[in-house]
Amino acid sequence: MTFHVLVPDNVHQKAIGILESSAGIRVTAPGKLERAALLKSVADADALIIRSGVTADAELIEKAPQLKAIARAGVGVDNVDLDAATARAVVVMNTPGGNTISTAEHSIGLMLALSRHIPQGHQSLAEGRWDRKAFTGVELKGKTLGIVGLGRIGQAIASRAQAFEMSVIAHDPYLPPAIAAALDVPLLALDEVYARSDYLSLHALVTIETRGMINADSIARMKRGARIINAARGALINSADLAAALGSGQVAGAALDVYEQEPPPTDHPLIGLPNVVHTPHLAASTSDAQVTVAVEAAQLVVDYLLEGVAANVCNPAVLES
């Protein structure tokens, strides 16, 4: 029996190599497919390897009657309908560790860019101005960084921020306190993190509780002049509320890598504001991370299709049926 693995997005060639060299697997890797072509191509797919740009919703799963597995080359599975997958006995797996360092480094980069107006200074010089006064920054040393979500990425940011002599606090209702204690990061109530943070870095999943958690109400509870960094998911922030707070000075600046809709609409309220630094969902986009997540995803698919071994399962209920 031969299993067909479809890779409808650009994943690193090493992943394709692993699939091609596995007896019993046939791989199709057309690169990024438009939706209509994608829905046709999944008709005989036994497994998919996807990145965040592919939406594996109920419609797609329904068009793939042979589908057994979806491997996400990355962490977030908000682009996969987990309920629809479970109902069809499709196991969904991700690669949670592969882009931790890249995402943490990007978050630190955003924090530095925000504090020192690096993109604005670059742009002004490129436009022929020599303006040093307009771009006076602030140091990270001695400031408090509040991390919302002290998982793998949050922890990697914490140790890097400590190297900058910041004091780091966090909110994470799921983390065993001993892990935070070992990192020397006090775990606090969310309101206390809001009240004490000079910088707030978001690393939470989007859930019913966290969707829009950065809004007029929570911003009012933050220290005046705080700076917000979001390299997790755009839906954590109410963009209109943050734009208003950036205008009033309640929030001094924001650095964003993610948007509720990607690409964001051209009239997005935060894009182009003078005190906002933004990048187009680049945090995990390093050659290093893309190799790691692609190779891990390919191996997950091979192990599941050929050996029946599932790891990093995001819809564990599927294994109970």
Q: Distance of CA 173 to CAs 8, 147, 248, Å?
A: 36, 12, 31
Phi and psi at 26, nearest 5°, equal -115, 135
Tell me: does residue 8 bind ligand MLT (CB under 6 A): no
Shortest CB 78 distance to ligand MLT, Å: 8
Tell me: does residue 41 bind ligand MLT (CB under 6 A): no
Tell me: does residue 284 bind ligand MLT (CB under 6 A): yes
Binding-site residue total for ligand MLT (CB under 6 A)?
Answer: 7
Contact with ligand MLT (CB under 6 A): which of 5, 8, 76, 223?
A: 76
Q: What distance in Å separates the CA atoms of residue 76 and residue 55, rounded to the nearest whole number?
A: 12
Locate 90 and state its tokens. Answer: 């499709």
Cα torsion through 203, 208, 212, 214, rounded to 10: -50
Nearer to ligand MLT, 76 or 264 (CB): 76
Q: What distance in Å separates the CA atoms of residue 76 and residue 78, rounded to the nearest whole number?
A: 6
- Using the contact rule CB under 6 A, the part of the chain among 72-80, 107-115, 131-139, 156-164 near ligand MLT is 72-80
Contact with ligand MLT (CB under 6 A): which of 4, 51, 143, 171?
A: 51
Tell me: does residue 75 bind ligand MLT (CB under 6 A): yes
Shortest CB 80 distance to ligand MLT, Å: 11
Nearer to ligand MLT, 6 or 75 (CB): 75
Tell me: does residue 120 bind ligand MLT (CB under 6 A): no
Q: Which residue has the tokens 């954590």?
A: 236
Q: Which residue has the tokens 């890249």?
A: 102
Nearer to ligand MLT, 41 or 52 (CB): 52
Q: What distance in Å separates the CA atoms of residue 126 and residue 56, rounded to the nearest whole number?
A: 42
Angle at 52 between CA 120 and CA 233, to 5 degrees: 55
Tell me: does residue 99 bind ligand MLT (CB under 6 A): yes
- Using the contact rule CB under 6 A, the part of the chain among 71-79, 120-128, 197-205, 260-268 near ligand MLT is 71-79
Residues 6+ apart with CB under 8 A from 86: 315, 317, 318, 321
Tell me: does residue 227 bind ligand MLT (CB under 6 A): no
Do residues 241 and 247 make contact, with C-beta atoms less than 8 angstroms apart? no
Do residues 227 and 250 make contact, with C-beta atoms less than 8 angstroms apart? no
- Using the contact rule CB under 6 A, the part of the chain among 25-33, 37-45, 74-82, 210-218 near ligand MLT is 74-82
Shortest CB 9 distance to ligand MLT, Å: 9
Catalytic residues: 233, 262, 281
- Using the contact rule CB under 6 A, the part of the chain among 14-22, 68-76, 194-202, 208-216 near ligand MLT is 68-76
Nearer to ligand MLT, 138 or 282 (CB): 282
- Which among 252, 257, 223 is positioned nearest to 237, based on CA atoms? 257
Residues 6+ apart with CB under 8 A from 100: 152, 153, 156
> For the chain, how big is the Rg over CA atoms in Å?
21
Do residues 95 and 50 make contact, with C-beta atoms less than 8 angstroms apart? no
Contact with ligand MLT (CB under 6 A): which of 8, 74, 146, 234?
A: 74
Q: Which residues bind ligand MLT (CB under 6 A)?
A: 51-52, 74-76, 99, 284
